[in-house]
Amino acid sequence: MFTEQMQQDVIMVLKFPSNSPVTHVAANTQPGLTSPAIITVTANRLFSVNKWHGLTGHQNTGEQQYQLPVEIDPLIASNVGSHRRQISDLLDQSIQISSQCFVITADNRFILLCGFWDKSFRVYSTDTGKLTQIVFGHRDVVTCLARSESYIGGDCYVLTGSRDATLLLWYWNGKHSSIGESPGTEFTTPRAILTGHDCEVTCVSVCAELGLVISGCK
């Protein structure tokens, strides 16, 4: 799709000023989205919201300047306000950060993160970097997350796996941007508790359309 020069540009535009490796990439770039973006998260939990311009109409025709398909997050590129892109809450020391620790909502507005010492998983705003919800349910550290495809309005299922060898299925309310159907309530309850593993769950996947949950353990 790209000329040689364009390939070089794309490589350069996604080179982040961080010494921490990128561990999670989410590309929610559907045309209907208010803010299509490619979100990346590093191992030290620095994330960037990189604006997606798309692949059409980027040829250099006459005086029209060619535009890159992806625009690096200005807060990361300028290093001004990058505190809004850092999740500083401490994780359990034994957690190895991987792609399975993160979920990005389909509208690119929230990051879900697991691995906390208090056995919770948490929801953060990608706009401000602030914590918006803490969810408890497991009896040990939550080790992995996944979300299903989203419905109209942004509703979806979120699946969590834990060292307690169980899986919990949660409902993400797109309208209220939170886990659970009743926003503002202190306690949220999972839709289902799935058992069968006898040790730490390390990876999960959920497909609402097929009604399937897949998981793997150590």
Residue 59 has pLDDT above 80, yes or no: no
Give percent of the chain with pLDDT exceeding 70: 85
The single-letter code of the amino acid at 110 is F
Give the single-character DSSP code of 82.
G
Long-range contacts of 186-193 (CB under 8 A, 24+ apart): 187/136, 188/135, 188/137, 189/137, 190/137, 191/157, 192/168, 193/166, 193/167, 193/168, 193/169
From 167, 157, 163, select the one nearest 196 (Cα to Cα). Answer: 167
Question: Of all helices (H) and strands (E), which one includes residue 5?
Answer: helix 4-13
Is pLDDT of 146 > 70?
Answer: yes
Q: Which residue has the tokens 């942004």?
A: 154
CA 122 to CA 129: how far, in whole Å?
12
Tens of pLDDT, residues 133-145: 999 999 999 999 9
What does the pLDDT look like over 172-212, one tens digit per residue? 999 999 999 776 666 899 999 999 999 999 999 999 999 99
pLDDT of 64 above 60: no
More confident residue, 100 or 58: 100
Residue the block writes with tokens 């953060």: 124
> For position 207, what pLDDT does the model report?
96
The token pair at 100 is 């399975």
pTM: 0.88
Task: State how far the Cα of 81 lies from the Cα of 68, in Å rounded to an integer.
Answer: 23
Q: What is the pLDDT of residue 5?
A: 61
